[in-house]
Structure 1
Amino acid sequence: MKRQETRGFQSEVKEILHLMIHSLYSKKDIFLRELISNASDAADKLRFCALSQPDLYEEDIELHIRISCDQEKRTITFSDNGIGMRREEVIDNLGTIAKSGTKTFLQSLQSEQLKDNQFIGQFGVGFYSAFVVADQVTVCTRYAGMKAEEGVFWQSTGEGDYTLADITKQNRGTDIVLHLREGEDVFLDSCRLKSFIEKYSDYIDLPVEMEIRGKQLEDNHDEQIITWEKINKAQALWTRSKTQISDDEYKEFYKHFSHDITDPLIWSHNRVEGKQEYTSLLYIPKKAPWDMWNRERKYGLKLYVHRVSVMDDATQFMPNYLRFVKGIIDSNDIPLNVSREMLQDSRITRNLKGYLTKRVLLMLERLAKDDAQKYQSFWVEFGLVLKEGLGEDPTNVTTIAKLIRFASTYNDTSEQTVSLEEYIGRMSIEQEKIYFISADSYAAAKSSPHLELFNKKGIEVLLLSDRIDEWMISYLTEFNGKLLQSVSKSDSFLDKLIDANSDKQKETWKTFEPFVNRVKHYLGDRVKEVRVTHRLIEAPVVVTTGSDDMTTQMAKIFTAAGQAAPDIKYVFELNPEHPIIKRVMNIIDNHDFNDWVELLLDQALLAERGSLNNPHQFIRRVNHLLNRLS
């Protein structure tokens, strides 16, 4: 060996290896799936690169993966004749992890979470799963088209460093030798090993072969005979008829290309012929990845053209709000030399994106209809992401709106389980609109004074408390002919509920008119209007906005985004039946009167906004008035 050196692992790799050695996975055979998957990817890359550089095949065009075990040496060897690696690629792929957020994620892991965590799948470093069962791993590799003496040797015991050197390797591709730990003898049993490999390789579209050793007597000497038995179908799974594919095969294929250790929630396999010919296999995972909100996170489908893998993470075929969808698309209409820029501007791409988006939404519609409990588990994981679709995808707003779930006053729980269709089904004939309230939290929404009249009248109100909700609802103005209305805004239907034009209400207004004018005179242009209201039951005051004004929650969104939000002028509404209002109405001293008005206004603003511009002044005023009352 030449240019031999010892190099230290990147710190994140050391932590991963520590987790691997201490049994990250409860199912240890997972290393077989990861290494077979990596070998398959190497073959895909060779096929693609050889389209423009056919010499890379080096007169060996029959691609395969070969696996052998040696019971005496306690080794399992994985060999492929795919693209291979250069020296710098070995360092980059086996010694470092460049993925953004890796360190943060590692620090957040708790030891009791490790066994069932989708750890390897999150980073695409399945190679390290070899250390679950091996105390030493050796890699010999050579990049296709390079000279035999430009092979690379890599070896490590999974501790703090690894050995790197140049070697001579006649065949292109990669050989990985695992020296098994004590206690991992199950993988040295050829029958058990074969069954494991069958499980993880049936969907691989190139031969996966296992070494068969035999003996024959020749010239009075035993001669070792080695043959290779193909143990998979060697046909791309998505090219087979759906009737020929079992659920287990669909699940294993998902784990193969997604590196997820859990089964998918649902999937859809479709072959389309006509103006555009393509096959799609789309999966929705059970669990959201930890970095779902990381802007640098890659998403998208794996793109094949005539069954040749040409691109991973093809975002052009799936809208951002469906970024949790995983799968493949195999098109006959896209050129093999396609680039991301060509895809972005292609009519074919836009059409395919439309078809695939509708396919995913149809999957979710069927799930919601056929299995509400299963759909609820989807909503818990991906509901926040799906809400983005109302603003991003105007074409499918109606379909997406059917899939949105809300908390509401109908249920005494913060779980978002109520659909708009269910809400409308419970509406009375007289109710004209769908009512909602948005706040910083479920508790704040549920306890808002705006709900008092609705609760008394038995009118259901949707409770919106996710940060995205106010933005989302601005794109959802109506559903099935029913307008959506915030209960914190002025509304004509409320006047009907409280019979605002009755003789009693008119009499109340006359009685309180001087008081209202006095409050209005003091507050001036700090409020849009002051008036008495009969929407309140227990609260003395509330602030509302006009039907065309910006809501409090929308203003918060602007502020959080670093944008200047317009100053909201609230309507200050007073409850004439409340004893505090009756008490303040009879205060003659202007100083005391003004203090009480300030206190009441701050109280209403605190309930509406969750904060005050000057909380210390509010506290001093409360203490001052309490002291005077005593």
Structure 2
Amino acid sequence: MPTETFEFQVEARQLLQLMIHSVYSNKDVFLRELVSNASDALDKLRLAALRDDTPDVDVTDLHIELDVDKEARTLTVRDNGIGMSYDEVTHLIGTIANSGTAKFLEELREAKDAAGADGLIGQFGVGFYSGFMVADEVTLVTRRAGETQGTRWTSRGEGTYTLETVDDAPQGTSVTLHLKPADAENQLHDYTSEWKIKEIVKRYSDFITWPIRLLPEPAEDGAEAREAETLNSMKALWARPRDEVSDDEYHELYKHISHDWREPLETIRLQAEGTFEYQALLFVPSHAPHDLFTQGYQRGVQLYVKRVFIMDDCEELLSPYLRFVKGVVDAQDLSLNVSREILQQDRHIRMIQRRLTKKVLATVKDLMTSAPDRYATFWREFGAVLKEGLVTDSENRDAILAACSFASTHDADEPTTLKSYVERMKDGQDDIYFMTGESRQAIEDSPHMEAFRAKGVEVLLLTDAVDEVWVDAVGEYEGKPLRSVAKGEIDLGGTEDEKSEAEKDAQSEEYAGLLGWMTEHLGEDVKEVRLSSRLTVSPACVVSDANELTPALENMYRAMGQEVPHAKRILELNPEHQLVKSLNRAHTGQQDRAELTEAAELLYALAVLGEGGRPKEPARFVKLVADRLERTL
């Protein structure tokens, strides 16, 4: 096939320009990226060989080579791993056609400084292009294991790339960087220097399980040829004693397996001995990935068996609500050709999952007291996803609750645990009160909060989408029911000016006619109109019945494609508000029923607006308000 020239797509050109005119303060990361890609290719070939997916492929000496040519100013990173076909090169290298590119560019532009930009490389699968930070031209030659024909990809990063097939390509992939001149602007290091190559590999890639070999320079005439030098120790960090591994080494392993080049928030080690042995090294990230809540998010940790890599993203080892955790599990008693189907049924895997889950939850809970700042970071980034476990994992529900904290009216800055909330409950208070909403401000401004604020009763302020679900699934904490302030009837009591039962009965009788008439005329929208004990300032509010779904939960189920019947809600009136008193007098006095009906509609619409909803007929609502204003001005 002749050489063909293609144009990069728009986003790819933008990405390459960012790399060429690099905003990264540390250009050394290009070598880390290429070595990491080579390591992944070797892992994939070993796995394919174990499963007989690539017959007649030699896997006896899998390795990575670094080859420097000082005269030509080239650096080649070569592996004899799985390689790529022509179509794979086109898809994976030629077009950068992945959904993360746009997000990468967006976050790169938003990075406040060069250090922030450094943290983004690799996170979106674009690490290959970091080679353009140090090279004027990049050439990739690859042949997929089991195929006979290879592919060459070449680009100067100027908007085009070339593709051609080659017949003499060895198995695997080689990436050759035609390095920029050593004295070029911002070119701080000479990457043809042997000591520099060794320093980068030792710092970033010492734990790689495959040998990284630096090929010697050609021997001069008469000189004895040198052997290739292995630069990395290839020691599995999870198998080494804790006091022999530095935090920096752990952090580099995390960056390698997670493609997040920030340091992790927490490192968790676990070693199980006995009838079933395994080792685990887990990491809690310091930042949530951009796609954590998308359906295609790749979750799970790496699975090894007897130090042999088996698979990435082993979902069976951690529950979905812990999908943010990265790491490695090395089991001693599993088969090397274990499949995902086998894992789903394996009792040992279920044992590991239970143990890892308990360990992660215990670690998060310990952070509350041992490192409050780190816990605050964790909760900000991962609190919403952890709370999913309150719905899906009843076995560990108590442990999850113990690791959770919630915004509260008790303190505007410090969240609270349920345990602390219960300790602060007022005498005679039986329920743990909460309210869900889009934001703290929206909840605090809600009419439903008025009586609680007036009487100093603490309310949990829940603003994540999952909060609508888990409160019903959990139901209670230490025997105290979880109670929404926007559902059912509320009777807080406990104040000096509290009405007597006789006064309440008299008031109910006074308003009985208005309540019955409004229930009839608003019957399409509400199931009942009644007097409220939760309002102190606003004239009205709408509430859900104690056992009904909230509007937000209805919308959530519909968004997931589930049909749920629309539940009529309850309109509550504040009998102490002048507007409600006037409405009652107008009804008792047989005032014009058409005008009274409009007033009732307006009051209901105002109540809907007060909780952040939308009137059923916005245009009619606007007209009614305009007409009323016209008559009063």
**Residues 84-95 of structure 1: matches in 2 within 5 Å?**
84-95=83-94
What residue number does 1:313 align with? 313
| Residue 359 (structure 2) aligns with | 359
Of 619, 622, 626, the residue aligned with 1:619 is 622
Q: Where does 1:285-434 land on structure 2 (aligned, <5 Å)?
A: 285-412=285-412, 417-434=415-432
Q: Partner residue of 1:606?
A: 609
- The 1:36/1:356 distance shift into structure 2, 3 A limit, reads same
Alignment of 1:207 with 2:206, yes or no, is no
Supply the RMSD in Å over aligned alpha carbons. Answer: 2.9
Q: Deviations over 1:336-375 (max 9, x none)?
A: 2222222223333333222222222222112223112111
Superposed displacement of residue 301, structure 1: 1.3
What residue is the counterpart of 2:76 in the other structure? 77
590, 593, 600: which is aligned to 2:592?
Answer: 590
- Distance, in Å, in 2 between the alignment partners of 1:107 and 1:244 is 39
Which has the larger displacement, 77-86 or 523-532?
523-532
- CA–CA distance in structure 1, aligned partners of residues 473 and 359 of structure 2: 22
Equivalent residues in 2 for 1:8-407 (5 A)?
Answer: 8-51=7-50, 56=56, 58=58, 61-99=60-98, 101-102=99-100, 104-105=102-103, 108-109=106-107, 111-113=109-111, 115=114, 116-117=116-117, 118-144=119-145, 150-167=149-166, 169=168, 172-182=171-181, 183=184, 184=187, 185-213=189-217, 222-223=222-223, 225-407=225-407
Choose 137-146 or 576-585, whichever is displaced more: 137-146
C-alpha distance 423-357 of structure 1, shift in aligned 2 (>3 A): same
1:574 & 1:142 partners in 2: Cα distance? 75
The verdict on how the C-alpha distance between 1:57 and 1:616 changes in structure 2, with shifts beyond 3 A counting, is closer
Q: Deviations along 1:426-459, whole A, 9 cap, x unmatched?
A: 2223221110112343332111111111111111
Q: Which amino acid aligns with 1:484?
A: L
The CA deviation string for residues 380-429 of structure 1, in whole angstroms up to 9 with x for no partner, is: 2222222222212121122222233322222346xx83322232232223
Residues of 2 paired with 1:188 and 1:87: CA distance? 30
- The letter of the residue matching 1:189 is S
Q: CA deviation at 1:228?
A: 2.5
TM-superposed deviation, 1:134? 0.9
Letter in 1 for 2:548: D
Counterpart of 1:61, as a letter, is: T
What's the TM-score once normalised by structure 1's chain length? Answer: 0.89
Q: Counterpart amino acid of 1:202? A: D
522 and 41 in structure 1: CA distance in 2 versus 1, 3 angstrom threshold: closer
**Higher mean C-alpha displacement, 153-162 vs 442-451:** 153-162
Distance 2:362 2:606 in 1: 47
Tell me, yes or no, if the aligned pair for 1:56 and 1:144 is still in contact at 8 Å: no
C-alpha distance in structure 2 between counterparts of 1:488 and 1:167, whole Å: 70
Name which of 470, 476, 479 aligns with 2:477.
479
Q: Is the 8 A contact 2:104 2:120 kept in 1?
A: no
8 A Cα contact 2:206 2:232, kept in partner: yes
3-state secondary structure, aligned to 1:471 = helix
Q: Which moved more, 1:182-191 or 1:374-383?
A: 182-191
Q: How far did 1:315 drift?
A: 1.6
Q: Is the 8 A contact 2:267 2:284 kept in 1?
A: yes
Letter in 2 for 1:276: F
For 1:296 and 1:236, the matched residues in 2 are separated by: 30
Instruction: Give the conservation status (yes or no) of the 8 Å contact 1:552–1:608.
Output: no
C-alpha offsets along residues 31-77 of structure 1, whole Å, 9 cap, x if unaligned? 1111111222222223223335597564x723332324333322222
> How big is each residue's C-alpha offset from its partner over 1:461-495, in whole Å with a ceiling of 9 and x where there is no partner?
11223333212322121122211101122346535
Residue 262 of structure 1: CA displacement? 0.8
Distance across 2 between alignment mates of 1:170 and 1:440: 57
- Partners of 1:515 and 1:451 lie apart in 2 by 25
Cα shift at 1:109:
4.6
SS at match of 1:77: strand
Aligned partner of 1:595: which letter? E
1:571-582 to 2 correspondences below 5 Å? 571-582=570-581
CA distance in 2 between partners of 1:448 and 1:52 (Å)? 60
Evaluate the alpha carbon distance shift between residue 13 and residue 306 of structure 1 in structure 2; reply closer, same or farther with a 3 A threshold: farther
Report the Cα distance in structure 2 between the residues aligned to 1:526 and 1:57, rounded to whole angstroms.
71
Q: Which amino acid aligns with 2:33?
A: E
Higher mean Cα deviation, 598-607 or 243-252?
A: 598-607
Mapped to 1, the partners of 2:89 and 2:627 lie a distance apart of: 72
Alignment check: 8 A CA contact 1:214 1:224 kept: no
Letter in 2 for 1:335: S
How far the C-alpha of 1:103 sits from its partner, in A, is 5.5
Q: Distance in 2 between matches of 1:3 and 1:435?
A: 72
* CA-CA distance at 1:249 after TM superposition: 0.3
Q: Distance in 2 between matches of 1:570 and 1:192?
A: 70
Distance in 1 between residues matched to 2:570 and 2:93, nearest whole Å: 64
Output the amino acid matched with 1:320. P
In structure 1, the partner of 2:550 is 551
Q: Which runs of 5+ in 1 are unaligned?
A: none
Rate the CA distance shift 1:490–1:5 in 2: closer, same or farther, 3 A: closer
After TM superposition, give the deviation of residue 254 of structure 1 in Å.
Answer: 0.9
Quote the Cα distance in structure 1 between the aligned partners of 2:34 and 2:602.
68
Identity %: 40
Cα distance in structure 1, aligned partners of 2:176 and 2:331: 37
Tell me the distance in 2 between the aligned counterparts of 1:450 and 1:140: 66
Relative distance call for 1:505 and 1:195 in structure 2 (3 A) is same
Shift of 1:510: 4.2
**What is the CA distance between 1:525 and its match in structure 2?**
7.2
**Post-superposition offset of 1:214:** 8.7
Name the SS of the counterpart of 2:312 in structure 1: strand
Measured in 1, the distance between the counterparts of 2:388 and 2:355 equals 19
Q: Is the 8 A contact 1:300 1:317 kept in 2?
A: yes
Report the secondary structure of 1:473's partner residue. helix
1:457 aligns with 2:455: yes
Q: Distance in 2 between matches of 1:513 and 1:532?
A: 9
What amino acid is the match of 2:445?
S
Distance between the aligned counterparts of 1:342 and 1:98, measured in 2? 33
More displaced 10-residue stretch of structure 1: 295-304 or 90-99 = 90-99
Are 2:123 and 2:261, in contact at CA under 8 Å, matched by a contact in 1?
no
Structure 2: distance between partners of 1:420 and 1:370 = 19
Q: 1:480 to 1:464 in 2, by over 3 A?
A: same
